[in-house]
Amino acid sequence: MAGGAADKPVLVRFDGVVKRFGVVTAVDRVTLDIAQGEFFALLGPSGCGKTTLLRMLAGFETPSEGEILISGHEISAVPPHKRPVNMMFQSYALFPHLTVEGNIGFGLRQEKVGRAEIAVRVEDMLALVRLKGYGKRRIDQLSGGQRQRVALARALIKKPRVLLLDEPLAALDKKLRAETQFELMELQRKLGTTFVIVTHDQEEAMIVADRIAVMDQGRLAQVGKPSEIYERPNSRWIADFIGEVSLIEGTVSQTDTIATALGPLLIEESAAKAGDKVCLALRPEKIRLSEQRPAGLEINALAGTVHEIGYRGDISLYKVRLADRSLMKVALANIGGPPPFAVNDVVWLSWAPTAGVVLTR
Amino acid sequence: MTIGQAKRSWSARFVVLIPYVWLLALFLAPFAIVAKISLSQTALAQPPYQPLLDLAAGWHGLKDFAAHLSFDNYAMLGSDWLYWLSYLKSLQVAAISTIILLIIGYPMAYGMARASRRLQPMLVMLVVLPFWTSFLIRVYAWINILQHDGLLNEALLRLYLIDAPVAWLASDTAIYIGVVYSYLPFMVLPLYATLEKMDHTLLEAAADLGCPRWKSFWRVTVPLSLPGVAAGALLCFIPICGEFVIPDLLGGSETLMIGQTLWTEFFSNRDWPVASAIAVALLGLLLVPIVFYERLQQRAIEGTR
């Protein structure tokens, strides 16, 4: 499997894992390596099988086929309470009848650890998640963000080989979520523990993770670093799922040119052969907008009219209608001053040949 | 606008009043009458006690009435072993039965709560099903089962578990069988209600943190079901204390439960004042667990905030 796992030893290996629920195949032949110390994200739309994959690693589901190995040991037969992994649940699943201390120390109390040592380690955990002084509180006296941190501390106290996070930030509001993402990354660097996070939020996955596995309908669609997945999506579906994109259909005419309804477009040399039906994917921020046709550019310059402007604060997203009635998305950073273009203005779009990605599927 | 609001608040107040009116008419008023009778003396008259409250005699009559009230009946209850034994017997039967009910009811409720969603309504209905037949008839049916040549003896003989028929009837065992049978739904339903709404991911979390199944049952399920245990136990314990029909039909005559003693005083001895005193004292006794339960609920309500 591509994507930079080779430099570190493999900790978790999914080998041809299949999970069926009745007639539904939730996870379909997933083969995946997760390296020691990696922050790994499983990303995909709801129902894509990412949570099932995580639950199989935790031991709550058994694979219908295939093997799951941790440090080279097959763990399918190991019950959840004996696995060297701990999970932070989406609902946090904190025990309402225990205090904060009771919750965080729960895992250690199952292991015949002495009272004094538990107290010390719980204090350490409270300090780590910045909840010092909250130990005696009941769970219902905590805010959502505090509960999230108790759940994190409870999952970390046993020093698991792998920490599993099931949509850990889904219940937080946007601002708190952004802060917590950076806290999670800092924590992961500090502890060196392997984190596997499940999320449907592509932005979150790209921010926190070293590598991302994008899943679709139970299969791995692409595995790689966030930048690889964003810059070099391997399919139309990925390009469309991750971030904003405009797609232009065409046929390869030469190794560096494709013929489209908008005329010939220059591309980076790709593996596609002449005559192949392909699709050119262009990210909105890689396209320039200008009033005049850019000088010296014969192709990769198209005229259009501004159809819609979506103001987002940091950027504005322009939808430009081209000659063939299709819409292209262009992002402009709002750097101050009056907006450069208005709706119905005639504009020119241009981009470098390296800006686009040629997709064959 | 303001008129509408005033109207609404008046009707809202009326709705709040309904339970109080209910309590006043059906509990407090009868209780006041019983308490009043418990302070009177028996008399060969109609009604069989005095003094009688004669409101027509005005202030003087009221004073005269109050002068004749006394706590003699309560003093008598305290001095006679018969009553002490009856109260103790009732508490004993209620306590042991409640424990047996808990031991049988908890696994039942647990099984129901863990059954598939589609099956659960039917299981609840099966628990409630006995209510479709009169309570009295069901207790009479137990006489048939427990009597000398009844179903139970016959079955045990056929299975070679006993050599000769056992005298089940007129024994404490028969009382326990009858009580446990009759009160099982009152134990199972509140337990089922708390177990059913328990979050299953809590058990996954416990397993994830190193608890085998049996341990997470004791560490998570049991503590979280304690409100249901308390509700079920009180719902059984309190009425069993005052139970009359079951011990009268199935029990022996050597020791009486307080309900039977009360019945004897009232109907056989026509001693309404003593019977009333027994009832008032029983209520006082049962106030202890009720107050305890109230405290527990208060804590639970604060807990959910």
B16 inside domain? no
A18 inside domain? yes
A140 and chain B in contact, CB less than 8 A: yes
In tens, the pLDDT along A180-194 reads 999 999 999 999 999
A64 and A130 together in one domain = yes
**Domain final position from A237, A267, A302:** A237
A230 and A326 together in one domain = no
Cβ A214 vs Cβ A240: under 8 Å: no
A contact test, residue of B209, B221, B222 with most A CBs within 10 A: B209
If pLDDT is split at 50, 70 and 90, which confidence band does B6 have? low
- Name every chain B residue with its beta carbon within 8 A of the beta carbon of A107: 209-210
- Name every chain A residue with its beta carbon within 8 A of the beta carbon of B209: 81, 86, 106-107, 110, 154, 158
Could you tell me where the beta strands, DSSP code E, fall in B156-225?
Answer: none
B28 inside domain? no
Q: How far is A204 from chain B (nearest CA, A)?
A: 24
B contact test, residue of A61, A78, A89, A122 with most B CBs within 10 A: A89
User: At residue A1, does pLDDT exceed 60?
Assistant: no
A47 and A80 together in one domain = yes
- Average pLDDT, rounded, for chain B: 89
A2 inside domain? no
CA atoms of A57 and A69, how far apart (whole Å): 9
Cβ B40 vs Cβ B51: under 8 Å: yes
A3 inside domain? no
Which element (helix H / strand E) includes B96? helix B81-114
In tens, the pLDDT along A25-79 reads 999 999 999 999 999 999 999 889 999 999 999 999 999 999 999 999 999 889 9
CA atoms of B305 and A115, how far apart (whole Å): 30
A127 inside domain? yes
Cβ B70 vs Cβ B36: under 8 Å: no
Cβ B255 vs Cβ B81: under 8 Å: no
User: At residue A2, does pLDDT exceed 60?
Assistant: no
A317 and A223 together in one domain = no
A111 and chain B in contact, CB less than 8 A: yes
pLDDT at A219: 93
User: At residue A176, does pLDDT exceed 60?
Assistant: yes
CA atoms of A350 and A294, how far apart (whole Å): 7
By the 10 Å C-beta count (0-12 exposed, 13-18 middle, 19+ buried), A297 is classed as: middle
What is the ipTM metric for this complex?
A: 0.83
Q: Which amino acid would we find at residue B147?
A: Q
CA atoms of B246 and A113, how far apart (whole Å): 52
Q: Do B205 and A107 touch (CB under 8 A)?
A: no
| CA A21 distance to own-chain centroid | 25
Q: Structural domain of residue B235, as residue ranges?
A: 79-304
In this structure, what CATH number is given to the domain that contains residue B220?
1.10.3720.10
CA atoms of B64 and A274, how far apart (whole Å): 120
- Using the CB atoms, write b or e for A314-351: b if 16+ within 10 Å: ebbbbbbebeeebebbbbbeeeeeeeebeeeeebbbbb
Name which of A73, A72, A76, A58 is nearest A17 in CA terms. Answer: A76
B199 and chain A in contact, CB less than 8 A: yes
Residue B207: CB atoms within 10 A of its CB come to: 24
A contact test, residue of B203, B208, B222, B225 with most A CBs within 10 A: B208
- Using the CB atoms, write b or e for A25-62: b if 16+ within 10 Å: bbbbebebbbbbbbbbbbbbeeebbbbbbbbbbbbebe
Cβ A181 vs Cβ A152: under 8 Å: no
B206 and chain A in contact, CB less than 8 A: yes
B162 inside domain? yes
* Nearest chain B residue (CA) to A58: B208
If pLDDT is split at 50, 70 and 90, which confidence band does A5 have? very low
Tokens of A77: 């037969």
In this structure, what CATH number is given to the domain that contains residue A14?
3.40.50.300
Instruction: Check residue A48 and report its DSSP letter.
Output: S
pLDDT at A193: 94
B299 inside domain? yes
CA atoms of A101 and A136, how far apart (whole Å): 6
A208 and A316 together in one domain = no
pLDDT at A3: 43
A287 and A187 together in one domain = no
Query: What are the φ/ψ torsions at residue A292 (nearest 5 degrees)?
Result: -105, 160
Name which of B123, B258, B265 is nearest B195 in CA terms. Answer: B123
If pLDDT is split at 50, 70 and 90, which confidence band does B261 have? very high
Q: Structural domain of residue A349, as residue ranges?
A: 247-359
| Three-class DSSP category at B26 | helix
pLDDT at B94: 96
In tens, the pLDDT along A219-232 reads 999 999 999 999 99
pLDDT at B208: 95
pLDDT at B8: 65
Q: How far is A110 from chain B (nearest CA, A)?
A: 6
A69 and A110 together in one domain = yes
A51 and chain B in contact, CB less than 8 A: no
* Sheet strands side by side (includes A346-350): A288-290, A346-350, A301-311, A315-322, A327-333
Percent of chain A with pLDDT over 90: 66
A293 and chain B in contact, CB less than 8 A: no
**Domain final position from A217, A237, A257:** A237
pLDDT at A291: 87
CA atoms of B142 and B166, how far apart (whole Å): 15
In this structure, what CATH number is given to the domain that contains residue A281?
2.40.50.140
A48 inside domain? yes
In tens, the pLDDT along B208-256 reads 999 999 999 999 999 999 989 999 999 999 999 999 999 999 988 877 8
B contact test, residue of A56, A110, A156 with most B CBs within 10 A: A110
A69 and A48 together in one domain = yes
Between β-strands A194-199 and A39-43, what pairing exists: parallel, antiparallel or unpaired?
parallel
A144 and A107 together in one domain = yes
- Average pLDDT, rounded, for chain A: 90
Q: How many domains does chain B have?
A: 1
A181 and A311 together in one domain = no
- Name every chain B residue with its beta carbon within 8 A of the beta carbon of A86: 208-209
Place of tokens 């527990």: B296
CA atoms of B221 and B60, how far apart (whole Å): 64
| CA B1 distance to own-chain centroid | 49
B270 inside domain? yes
Q: How far is B221 from chain A (nearest CA, A)?
A: 10
A156 and chain B in contact, CB less than 8 A: no
B148 inside domain? yes
B64 and chain A in contact, CB less than 8 A: no
**Domain final position from A219, A237, A255:** A237
Between β-strands A162-166 and A194-199, what pairing exists: parallel, antiparallel or unpaired?
parallel
Considering CB atoms only, which of B208, B223, B303 is closest to A58? B208
CA atoms of B298 and B292, how far apart (whole Å): 10
Alpha carbon of B61 to those of A288, B33, B64, B72, B94: distances in Å?
106, 18, 5, 22, 44
Q: How many domains does chain A have?
A: 2
Residue A254: CB atoms within 10 A of its CB come to: 12
A55 inside domain? yes
A251 and A228 together in one domain = no
A212-216, A316-320, A332-336, B262-266: which has the minimum mean pLDDT?
Answer: A332-336
Q: How far is B210 from chain A (nearest CA, A)?
A: 4
Name which of A166, A153, A161 is nearest A13 in CA terms. Answer: A161
If pLDDT is split at 50, 70 and 90, which confidence band does A305 have? very high
A129 and A206 together in one domain = yes
If pLDDT is split at 50, 70 and 90, which confidence band does B305 have? very low
